[in-house]
Chain A
Amino acid sequence: MSDSQQLLGLRAIVKRYPGVVAVGGVSLDVPPGQIHALLGENGAGKSTLMKVIYGAVRPDEGQILWNGQPVAIRNPQEARKLGISMVFQHFSLFDTLTAAENVWLGVDRSLSLAEVTRRVVKVAAAYGLDVEPLRPVHTLSVGERQRVEIVRALLTNPKLLILDEPTSVLTPQAVERLFDTLRKLAGEGVAIIYISHKLDEIRALCQHCTVLRGGKVTGEVDPSRETNASLSRLMIGAEPPALSHAVRAPGEMVLEVGGLSLARQDQFGVDLADIAFSVRAGEVVGVAGVSGNGQQELMAALSGEDPRAPAGSIRLFGRDVARAPADSRRAAGLHFVPEERLGRGAVPTLSLAQNTLLTRTEAVGGGWISVAATRRLARHLIESFNVRANGTEAAARSLSGGNLQKFIVGREIDARPRLLIISQPTWGVDVGAAAQIRGEILKLRDGGCAVLVVSEELEELFEISDRLLVIARGRISPSVPVAEATIERIGEWMSGLWSGAAAEGTHVPA
């Protein structure tokens, strides 16, 4: 195909940030009506490349061609004028405004709010997207919010639609409906760039795939003709490491949760209703669920950051810890790795040595801190867990996402916990570090520790869990051994549709 037949062309795009080359000479072409996948692990440069196309960031070198002509995209408005529209991974919606007002802000100035509302209803119907324009966004579920984002993008009559990791917040059934919408759009000549690291989806949906690694293109393939293994090889340069998962008999009862009902703390949260489950020594219990269904609230109640749980609802080795503060739970053997690293699991501007003090108080004696002891501990963690950092005095924020996660996970594992709770263990982490972390979790379990993992990545949960639970709308499903679980069934449960749940009115609008 000649240049002018391509809708979008990128020629040798380079973008540098202080200390790193995010995109190091990337070229690709997207013709109209093609669903084009952009595959790569975290840190490969996908987001930066999209910011360049979308106009949020300007490249240091290279050219962008639109219908064969070179263009300069200086800001998102110019991108929109060309016909480029983007649906973000972390939505750019305004919570206190209604869906229609949100869409209005994203479209041409000259239209009135009433006119925009009319068009929203029309477009939503045309593509099978269920959207209520007059509801304030903070009352919408995550899936609904994504649909508002998509409708907003569609109202600009895009010729190129970019979707950034759209399925991380959807149940498997909702993913199928999204794919139907995208295929319809492609059929009408809209080009789609689909950013993802989920190999199955790319193989099911996309006609062409550009693979990025380390800011460069490592392959351009037709995904329907590839296997997960071959795509993985292009993505990380090797096949995904296999994890050994021996079956074990679980030991004593470590964590027993029953009757955990908790009102939400702020308006935008989720109430927990009658949560009950247990975790035994030597087993990994995985909690699946679409984000925004109560995981945050459950984690905070278990870790002690929210001390309002009803007395007796959380028992550790039989002892009631429902109202105990975080540090006393830690003394009892409960360690927690939160999903936010910078700002919660570690203080960004403090050094790694200082950050050990958040959960490890061995260096504290009589009210005073031994700086030498904190450095020793930090060095030990850096070495044992293969953390790449500029020494123990490096600021936490100077580490890459994967390395910081390794440090934090290592800090908690090194404390020899009896119960480890870990939320989103490998989110935003490169594949090598992710494999290492999963391996550490399994090692911990083999050593007799009880582990509770909360994750939005179903494949990950299937890989490391012994039993699975699903959290939906603040309620917990019955548990099922991994060997007996299927993706479809878990997907249904993620919509709140487990037996007995219908009576509770658990249905999650997807």
Chain B
Amino acid sequence: MFRLEARPQPSRAMTVASPLLALLLTAGLAALLFVLLGKNPLAGLSAYFLEPLNGRRQLTEVALKATPLILCALGLAVCYRSNVWNIGAEGQFVLGAITAGGLALWMTSVGFKASAWIITPLILAAGALGGMAWAAIVAFLRDRFNASEILVSLMLVYVAQQLLNYLVFVTWKDPKGFSMPHTPTFDAATWLPNLVPQSRLHVGALVALVLVAVFWAFIFRSWRGFQLQVGGLSPAAARYAGFSARAALWTALLVSGAMAGLAGAMEAAGPLRQLTPYVSTGYGFTAIIVCFVGRLHPVGILFSGVLLSMFLIGGELGQSRLGLPNALTGVFQGLLLFLLLACDTLIAYRVRWVGAVPAGGAGR
């Protein structure tokens, strides 16, 4: 039988190899699933892993979808490293879309015109503030009432969705809309500037790249970032050092709320250019996976964001080209995280084959 044996030191090699191993296993299970569905496994894997990188247009789509994932995941990384379990990034994303969208609608209705250098930062700031405010509710309830941030942030996701529905179906409804309700389209002045012509990729991608560097510096070189980490690793040591747990809680939630809100704003003012009930297709939850697969590390998140974006694109390609249901993407994402957690065991433990235990005397 197999036995797990503790390693004297965590294995450096496995820290890097574990996500790759998990990815391989996921791909293997995916291939199996394709076969069970009666599809060519190689074609399926190619749709998910190769096709999304094939050609300029595909690459911009990957970058487009990776942007909100990376932004949300950066904020979540700060949260999880502080041991604050914000699961409501999805709700904070929606609120960012709402506040940014609301501002854009107002600008559209009054015909507000100004240079993109003014409008874009305003729209993005509105989104960040919206997400921050939503996360602040969670922080307040945890600070003042000791309520679990996991459950509160999750409940607020459902509330946020209903709020969006209400605004889109009732308050901001486009009277000219027919079957599917939506708000009026935003005026072109409010759209995010395009980055690559003939594509949907907007400046948000650049902002995300810059923020990767900013977050790296924050987490690993700033005093505040260090305090947050200690609070997450050993709360008693943080108290001993005099680091404020309350400051850590608020910082973590406000930062992650702002990032999710920012991502929501980019989605509303970027590819969507209006608000619909489906503003977020689970970005906030996928970002949790991106965060873990990226090892809660900004550079890792950059790579895992791209990877999971490929899954999303691959899902669409698989559906249109091979008839594979898009819902498979959700399965693969969850599997990747699950297998990653299992493979991570190998960082701290070695697997050994041990023979049958002898009847008498000592020996394993």
A touches B in complex, CB < 8 A: yes
Residues of A whose CB lies within 8 Å of any CB of B are: 13, 18-19, 58-64, 70-72, 74, 303-305, 325-328, 330, 336, 338, 340, 343-350, 354, 357-359, 361, 364, 367-369, 371, 398
* Contacts known (A18-B8, A344-B234, A349-B233); A368 close to B223, Cβ less than 8 A: yes
Q: Is B4 an interface position by the 8 A CB rule?
A: no
Q: A325-B244, A349-B233 are known contacts; what are 10 more A-B pairs with Cβ within 8 Å?
A: A58-B362, A72-B361, A303-B240, A305-B240, A325-B242, A343-B237, A344-B234, A357-B241, A364-B223, A369-B222
A338 touches B240 (CB 8 A): yes
Give A61 to B244 CA distance when docked, in angstroms.
50
Chain A nearest Cβ from B96, distance in angstroms = 27
Chain A nearest Cβ from B358, distance in angstroms = 8
The 7 tightest CB contacts between A and B, nearest first, are A326-B242, A327-B242, A18-B8, A358-B241, A19-B8, A344-B236, A59-B362
Complex contacts, B237 vs chain A, CB 8 Å: 343-347, 358
A371 to chain B: closest residue by CB: B221
Give A61 to B364 CA distance when docked, in angstroms.
9
B9 touches A367 (CB 8 A): no
Which B residues, 180 to 234, have Cβ-Cβ distances below 8 Å to chain A? 221-224, 226, 229-230, 233-234
Q: Is B6 an interface position by the 8 A CB rule?
A: yes
B224 touches A367 (CB 8 A): yes
Q: Is B7 an interface position by the 8 A CB rule?
A: yes
The listed residue (B229, B242, B244) touching A330 by CB distance below 8 A is B242
Q: What are 8 residue pairs bridging A and B, where the CB atoms are less than 8 Å apart in the complex? A: A18-B6, A18-B8, A61-B362, A326-B239, A346-B237, A354-B226, A359-B240, A364-B223
The listed residue (B223, B233, B361) touching A369 by CB distance below 8 A is B223
Interface size of B as a range: 20 to 34
Complex contacts, B55 vs chain A, CB 8 Å: none
Complex contacts, B241 vs chain A, CB 8 Å: 326-327, 357-359
B5 to chain A: closest residue by CB: A18
Give A18 to B242 CA distance when docked, in angstroms.
35
The listed residue (B5, B357, B363) touching A60 by CB distance below 8 A is B363
B350 to chain A: closest residue by CB: A18
A58 touches B364 (CB 8 A): yes
Give A326 to B230 CA distance when docked, in angstroms.
15
Complex contacts, B242 vs chain A, CB 8 Å: 304, 325-328, 330
Which B residues, 217 to 268, have Cβ-Cβ distances below 8 Å to chain A? 221-224, 226, 229-230, 233-234, 236-237, 239-242, 244
B363 touches A61 (CB 8 A): yes
* Contacts known (A330-B242, A344-B237, A346-B237); A368 close to B221, Cβ less than 8 A: yes
A64 touches B362 (CB 8 A): yes
Complex contacts, B363 vs chain A, CB 8 Å: 58-61
A347 touches B362 (CB 8 A): no
Q: Is B359 an interface position by the 8 A CB rule?
A: yes
Q: Is B175 an interface position by the 8 A CB rule?
A: no
* Contacts known (A358-B230, A369-B223); A72 close to B360, Cβ less than 8 A: yes
The listed residue (B222, B229, B236) touching A343 by CB distance below 8 A is B236
Chain A nearest Cβ from B222, distance in angstroms = 6
A52 to chain B: closest residue by CB: B362
Most-contacted residue by chain B among A343, A346, A347, A349 (CB, 10 A): A347
Chain B nearest Cβ from A22, distance in angstroms = 13
Give A349 to B347 CA distance when docked, in angstroms.
14
Complex contacts, B230 vs chain A, CB 8 Å: 347, 350, 358
Give A33 to B208 CA distance when docked, in angstroms.
75
Chain B nearest Cβ from A369, distance in angstroms = 6
A70 touches B361 (CB 8 A): yes
Which B residues, 104 to 144, have Cβ-Cβ distances below 8 Å to chain A? none
Complex contacts, A367 vs chain B, CB 8 Å: 222-224
A72 touches B359 (CB 8 A): yes
B357 to chain A: closest residue by CB: A74
A368 touches B360 (CB 8 A): no
Chain B nearest Cβ from A300, distance in angstroms = 8
Complex contacts, A305 vs chain B, CB 8 Å: 239-240
Give A358 to B222 CA distance when docked, in angstroms.
14
Chain A nearest Cβ from B361, distance in angstroms = 6
Chain A nearest Cβ from B12, distance in angstroms = 12
Complex contacts, B224 vs chain A, CB 8 Å: 367
Chain A nearest Cβ from B245, distance in angstroms = 11
Complex contacts, A346 vs chain B, CB 8 Å: 237
Give A303 to B237 CA distance when docked, in angstroms.
12
Chain A nearest Cβ from B126, distance in angstroms = 27
B236 to chain A: closest residue by CB: A344
B362 touches A344 (CB 8 A): no
Chain B nearest Cβ from A268, distance in angstroms = 16
Give A58 to B221 CA distance when docked, in angstroms.
45
* Contacts known (A343-B234, A367-B223); A326 close to B240, Cβ less than 8 A: yes
Complex contacts, B359 vs chain A, CB 8 Å: 72
Complex contacts, A59 vs chain B, CB 8 Å: 362-363
A304 to chain B: closest residue by CB: B242
Give A234 to B148 CA distance when docked, in angstroms.
55
Give A358 to B233 CA distance when docked, in angstroms.
13
Chain A nearest Cβ from B344, distance in angstroms = 14
B230 to chain A: closest residue by CB: A347
Complex contacts, A371 vs chain B, CB 8 Å: 221
Complex contacts, B229 vs chain A, CB 8 Å: 350
B362 touches A369 (CB 8 A): no
Mark interface residues in B1-36 (1 if CB within 8 Å of A CB, else 0).
000011111000000000000000000000000000
A63 touches B236 (CB 8 A): no
Complex contacts, B239 vs chain A, CB 8 Å: 305, 326, 344
